[in-house]
Amino acid sequence: MVQVVENLTRLSGHLVAREAHPHRPGWDVVVVRIDDAGPVADKADLLSRYKGGDLSVAFRSELLVGASPGARLTFRARLTSNGVLAEPHPGDGDLLINPHP
């Protein structure tokens, strides 16, 4: 089993595609075109390298109700041994959705 360092990165970008996660009921796989990324205090930043590209991120489905392609997302996520995972229970201001680009 691969051990991943404790990490968290703040990401922003536009939702490109969204579908049900094939292995996690209640979760979606979202492709986000990352246009901004930065570290979170006291956490390793393992995702800023995706700035300028597309990144597949697992989100709890209920967090993205009404979000469709073109929506702007700002969120925090971590790299896990199973891929990139958005915070399942974000704090106030840690998940922002602008449905209109």
Q: Architecture of domain 9-98 in CATH? A: Beta Barrel (2.40)
| pLDDT over 60 at 72, yes or no | yes
Inform me whether the pLDDT recorded for 28 exceeds 80.
yes
- The model carries a pTM of 0.92
**Domain-wise residue ranges, the chain:** 9-98
**Residue 2: band (very low, low, confident or very high) from pLDDT cuts 50, 70, 90:** low
- Structural contact between residues 73 and 54, judged by C-beta atoms closer than 8 angstroms: no
Distance CA 10, CA 96 (A): 11
Report the phi/psi class of residue 83: left, alpha or beta, with left for phi > 0 and alpha for psi in -120 to 50: left
Mean pLDDT of 61-80: 95
Residues 88-94, mean pLDDT to the nearest whole number: 95
Cβ-Cβ contacts under 8 Å for 76 (sequence gap 6 or more): 8, 9, 10, 11, 40, 86, 87, 90, 94, 95
